[in-house]
Structure 1
Amino acid sequence: MLKFDEDQFLTRARSFLGLQPQIEEIVAGLSDVDAVFLIGSGGTYAAMWPYEHLLRRNTRIPVRSAIAAELVLSGDALLTERAVAVFASASGTTEDVIQAIEYCRARGVRTVGFTGIADSPIAQAVDSALITEPDAWPFDLGLLLFTTRFLSERGEFAGYDKLVNQLPAVPAALVEVARQAEPVAEAFAARHKDTDFHFVVGSGNLWGHAYLYSMCILEEMQWLHTTRVHGAEFFHGSLELIEPDTSVLLFVGEDETRPLMERVVRFSEKYSQATTVLDTADYALEGVDDEFRGLLGPLVMDTITSRISKHLEKQRDHSLDLRRYYRVVEY
């Protein structure tokens, strides 16, 4: 596979699973919280959405994902000593996140942070630091462990023990997903190496990844024009932009919102000959029961689209590390 280090991939993914005992200990101390905040910036903000979605559907206490910089300016009445705030940053140096941690701690909010750098500012700032392998991404396995344990402790998720017994099979299963996605990714990149506009659509716990892939990969890393649209909102204006040659990239998952995306698929395949459907149901997850497949959708989709990213980089001769402005100039 193009630029795929299997050993590194497995090591990074398994580093999240190694946090299980620490996560369980942290969650045990949160029995009295009456609000949960999932806070990030850019990609880590979008990465929180599947877990806001999961919590919101299962718990009666308020759950909010928040943009770090906006939260510091606007505040929130629920940010008190009875709240917990969860952060994530691969580098551990994201300034907006650091400021949000300081803002929360000044209000007595308990803070938890996932990062790959043990001595980073973010790891030092939070009450409880969850340290992965350096550059480990995505954060889904860690966030899934945290949120399902939190729900389990509250009696709102009955499948935790069964889930965590199956999660060790996930890293190897994702390697097989990457292998299966390789020809799909290569074909997409070859077809779209000169395409400069992409529609990206998702729903449910894949809406966050649609937002992330559009903004953080296609725009930031490939300088391509995109529009990102929620599957439920696609038919409220956005559909008018679809033409026969419009690239429409559809993220179809296995959660309860799948019918929303199936409707978009039917429309897009009728009116655009450049529709690409990425469906997590097409990929086997050896060792994982069907009841958990929907929860793992963000991880599966991230693995598939990561292969597309590598092939776009090659086909377009545009490094995924190249930036004009982000962390290059003052802003």
Structure 2
Amino acid sequence: MKIQEEVKKVVKQAIAKIAKHGKIKQILWVGAGGSFGGFYAANYFLQQEAKNIFTAMYTSGEFIYAAPKNLDQNTLVVLCSMRGTKETIAASQIAQNAGATTISLYVEKSALLDYSDYQIKYESLALDESRIERVNSSIGLCIAMNVLNEVEGYDNYAAAMAAFADLDPIYRRAVEYTTPLAKKWAELNKKQRTIYVIASGPAYGAAYIFSICNLEEMLQLNSPTIHSYEYFNGPFEVTDKGKSIFQLLATGKTRPEDERALRFEQRFAGEKLYVLDGKEIGLDDLPEEIAPYFNHSIFSSILNNVYMRELSYTTHESYLTRRYMWKEEYK
């Protein structure tokens, strides 16, 4: 079964369950680390397209301690955890106890499924054989599009569903295109201890994951994530020719913010300024009205599987090593 069909079926069931108590009023996206960041695409889509459905993202820990007061039977909570992070399991319990309907995304079965009304298995983007339409960020986006279409209608629904079949071919071409570029970038940055990652709009989530999951967690490098507009409200003061800056140029409405940041960077940064443009990695192959919403799925996969890996190879540091994760207690 195509992932679009699987998601559509689950969403219809979830909406029908909620309809017993009235209309759905909000969707809350809950996860930890990359599972949290992967929901940026879905959340961004609903912020742009939904008229009456509220949307918000919560880290699993924050949801445990500070779940919103309006969490109730008219809420859909979508959770994600690859292996069953304990805080995400606890968050799912809280959601169900409040009467909310829950959908969980998972790779390995865990106790999370015991506290989920519906489940969808996804494929890890870190595995070369995984198809991009089946990674967590793509499935989250597909859920958001289907909920909107069921509840309010979505004019571009057919085009969006068709686009999921194009994601993996676009990604494979982008890997081929970016690999030699990433090798040069990695060689230039092999002794760099801090890499600034800058983005906005539909690409900001990919920048966030690249910083915290790829560069900081996997390579133990310092990596602030900076919004392209907020760059001019403080962070641009540290720009100089010795800094390593990785600028994402998104496709879509917020691209002028990225371009503005880039113009300044080109004036004051040095040879370690690097630009990854969504137009160059295939996002323009999708219809203009839906292409921005797929920025995350393509950018995040390329950043993890090409740029992070090449930097790891160049520095001779295995991206599978950790200092604290899975080794030390951090209750």
Pairing of 1:206-245 with structure 2 (within 5 A): 206-245=203-242
Q: Aligned AA for 1:323?
A: R
- Cα distance change on mapping 1:156 and 1:25 into 2, 3 Å: closer
Is 1:25 matched up with 2:24?
no
Q: Which residue of 2 aligns with 1:161?
A: 158
**Normalising to structure 2: TM-score of the pair?**
0.90
Contact 1:17–1:168 (8 Å) recurs in 2:
no
> How big is the shift at 1:291?
2.5
Q: Which residue of 2 aligns with 1:6?
A: none
Q: Aligned AA for 1:276?
A: Y
Q: Which residue of 2 aligns with 1:10?
A: none
Pairing of 1:51-200 with structure 2 (within 5 A): 51-59=42-50, 60-91=52-83, 93-117=84-108, 119-133=109-123, 138-200=135-197
> How big is the shift at 1:327?
2.0
Contact 1:16–1:141 (8 Å) recurs in 2:
no
Q: Distance in 2 between matches of 1:266 and 1:76?
A: 40
Q: Which residue of 2 aligns with 1:11?
A: none
Q: Aligned AA for 2:100?
A: V
Name the SS for the 1:266 alignment partner: helix
Q: Which residue of 1 aligns with 2:291?
A: 293
> How big is the shift at 1:19?
2.8
Q: Distance in 2 between matches of 1:296 and 1:15?
A: 18
Q: Which residue of 2 aligns with 1:329?
A: 328
Contact 1:27–1:146 (8 Å) recurs in 2:
no
- Cα distance change on mapping 1:287 and 1:207 into 2, 3 Å: closer
> How big is the shift at 1:287?
6.3
1:36 is aligned, of 27, 30, 43, to 27
1:48 is aligned, of 39, 43, 53, to 39
CA deviation map 1:281-305 (0-9, x unaligned): 1123596323222111112212321
1:266 is aligned, of 258, 263, 266, to 263
Q: Distance in 2 between matches of 1:80 and 1:20?
A: 23
Q: Distance in 2 between matches of 1:156 and 1:22?
A: 16
CA deviation map 1:284-331 (0-9, x unaligned): 359632322211111221232120111111111111111111121111
Identity of aligned residues (%): 20
Q: Which residue of 2 aligns with 1:5?
A: none
Name the SS for the 1:113 alignment partner: strand
Q: Distance in 1 between matches of 2:243 and 2:220?
A: 17
Name the SS for the 1:318 alignment partner: coil
Q: Distance in 1 between matches of 2:8 and 2:40?
A: 24
Q: Aligned AA for 2:7?
A: Q
Contact 2:41–2:294 (8 Å) recurs in 1:
no
Q: Distance in 1 between matches of 2:217 and 2:297?
A: 21
Q: Distance in 2 between matches of 1:287 and 1:261?
A: 20
Name the SS for the 1:57 alignment partner: helix
Which moved further from structure 2: 230-239 or 59-68? 59-68
User: Which ranges in structure 2 are unaligned for 5 or more consecutive residues?
Assistant: none
Q: Distance in 2 between matches of 1:287 and 1:254?
A: 11
